[in-house]
Amino acid sequence: MEIIQQLAFIATFAALLWLVSRRIGIIKKTIQQGRAEDRTDQPSKRWLMMLRVAFGQKKMFDRPLVGIMHFVIYAGFLLINLEVLEIVLDGLLGQHRLFAPFLGGFYTFLISFFEFLAISVLLVCVVFLLRRNVTKVERLQPSRHREMNGWPELDANLILIFEIVLMSAILTMNAADLVLQDMGSAHYTQTGNFAFSQWLTPLFTGWSETSLIALERTAWWLHILGIFGFALYVTYSKHLHIALAFPNTYFARLIPKGEMHNMPEITKEVKIMLGMEQPDATEAPAEIGRFGARDVMDLSWKNLMDAYSCTECGRCTAACPANMTGKKLSPRKIMMDTRDRLEETGRNMQANGGTFVEDGKALLGDYILEEEILACTTCNACVQECPILINPLDIILQLRRYQIMDEAKAPGSWNAMFGNLETNQAPWKFSPGDRFNWAESLK
């Protein structure tokens, strides 16, 4: 029986590695559709930012209570995986509690600590479920934010339920194990009582050894299959940020938030037009394929990584003044729409041997509407709020640049402002010499 379990585990583990590596490969190729952009400068500063924001959860603690609860889940997830390492080795080697004989009393302490984390994670997940579905935090409600309808709402609830089940499986497995130890059952190493699961043992007192072994094995398999399923599931879920938050914060912008990235070719032409620079007669005119971005391929690879990293927390949308005033713009939806389009292009490439075949769709128009990008005030509130340094504004500006410069679809009021900037060097329709006339009345 044990050899069958061992072979079943090895086959399951191999299948997981293949499925996860395949999915990671697809995500990598999808992100690589984006334009090249160098984000390797100032590595020491980038490492510090990643450690502070991704590992240290700095921005989550802007809201202390929620920050602490999120940190409990985050720390619990990382540390409990040390126990998963033992379970994986047990499965591969056909052992049970492989580390117990080597660690002695410290092993009991470790498992008790992991149980404390499991209890903490379970309780926080219950609180987060209540926040979403009972107290109804406004930024998470699909009735208020259309992008949260359907799968996003289900995904958020599923992952919380998933974690509750996994933590319950750990405690059940340990409790059944303790009872079997007391019975002197073969294969169950003496470890001493664990801090929390020992209080569950009365539930299983009086069970037969066969029933207890079946319960312990069922909980063991449920836990490890749950972990394996979770590892695969997160690659399709918003919870991909568990992994991508680290590279995403490392490669975040180091320049000030309000600084807009200009197109060098256009900047040069403007300088020549204003007499600030002389044209080089020997230099061939620059070829510009497209102004701004129409589809995900026109965005940078970092923009696409941002989309995959989005946690859908809605802090950006809650801080957006355009959204507050009832306009359609939602920075969270911008990121989710970009990810949805990326997923579609990824499936396209899969179906066509790794090459994208034009499908007649685009990010701008089919996913993100003109009304949304025009509502943005470029205030950077969304950029400031993001807990993992995602930049929705950069995508909005590139889409808007394409619409105005490539398709000449600027609103009439904007065209008037552009004309004034060109002729008067100011948004207002009067000459620079009259600019301070308004101050005369203050004397």
Write out the two tokens for 269: 């032409």
pLDDT at 412: 82
Q: How confident is the model at residue 5 (pLDDT cuts 50, 70, 90)?
A: confident
Q: Which of 66-75, 289-298, 364-373 has the highest mean pLDDT?
A: 364-373
Question: For the segment 297-335, what is each residue's pLDDT rounded down to a tens digit?
Answer: 999 999 999 999 999 999 999 999 999 999 999 999 999
What pLDDT, on a 0 to 100 scale, did the predictor assign at position 258?
Answer: 78
Q: How far is CA 368 from the centre of its chain?
A: 20
How does pLDDT run across 98-108, given as a tens digit for each residue?
Answer: 888 888 889 88
Q: What is the pLDDT of residues 64-92, one digit of tens each?
A: 888 888 888 888 877 777 778 888 888 88
Residue 287 pLDDT > 70, yes or no? no
| Whole-angstrom distance, CA of residue 364 vs CA of residue 382 | 20
* Amino acid at site 423: T
pLDDT of residue 429: 78
Spans of all domains in the chain:
2-31+63-240, 264-277+290-426
Question: Following CA atoms 365, 367, 373, 379 in sequence, which dihedral angle do they give, to the nearest 10 degrees?
Answer: -160
- Average pLDDT for 373-384: 93
**pLDDT computed for residue 336 by the predictor:** 95
3-state secondary structure 373-430: HHCCCCCCHHHHHCCCCCCHHHHHHHHHHHHHHHCCCCCHHHHHHHHHHHHHCCCCCC
Q: What is the pLDDT of residue 285?
A: 60
pLDDT value for 425 = 76
Q: Is the pLDDT of residue 343 over 90?
A: yes
Fold of 264-277+290-426: Fumarate Reductase Iron-sulfur Protein; Chain B, domain 2 (1.10.1060)
Instruction: Express as a percent the part of the chain with pLDDT over 70.
Output: 97
Say how far apart CA 102 and CA 238 lie, in whole Å. Answer: 39
6 vs 395, more confident: 395
Residue identified by tokens 């490492």 is: 47
Going through 275-353 in order, the beta strands assigned E by DSSP cover: none
Q: What pLDDT does residue 45 have?
A: 95
Between 153-162, 260-269, 298-307, 338-347, the lowest mean confidence (pLDDT) is in 260-269
- What is the model's pLDDT at position 244? 93
Per DSSP, the three-state class of 160 is: helix
- What would the pLDDT profile of 14-39 be if each residue is shown by its tens digit? 999 999 999 999 999 999 999 999 99
Q: How far is CA 370 from the centre of its chain?
A: 25
- Residue 1 predicted with pLDDT over 60: no
Q: Are 363 and 341 in contact (CB under 8 A)?
A: yes
- 196, containing H or E segment: none
pLDDT at 283: 67
Q: Across the chain, what does the average pLDDT equal?
A: 87
Using alpha carbons, select from 327, 328, 332 the residue that is nearest to residue 314: 332
Choose among 391, 394, 389, 321: nearest CA to 59.
389
Mean pLDDT (whole number) for 140-148:
87
Answer left, alpha or beta for residue 193, where phi above 0 means left and psi between -120 and 50 means alpha.
beta
Q: How far apart are CA 225 and CA 314, in angstroms?
A: 31
Residue 263 has pLDDT above 60, yes or no: yes
Q: What is the mean pLDDT of residues 212-228?
A: 88
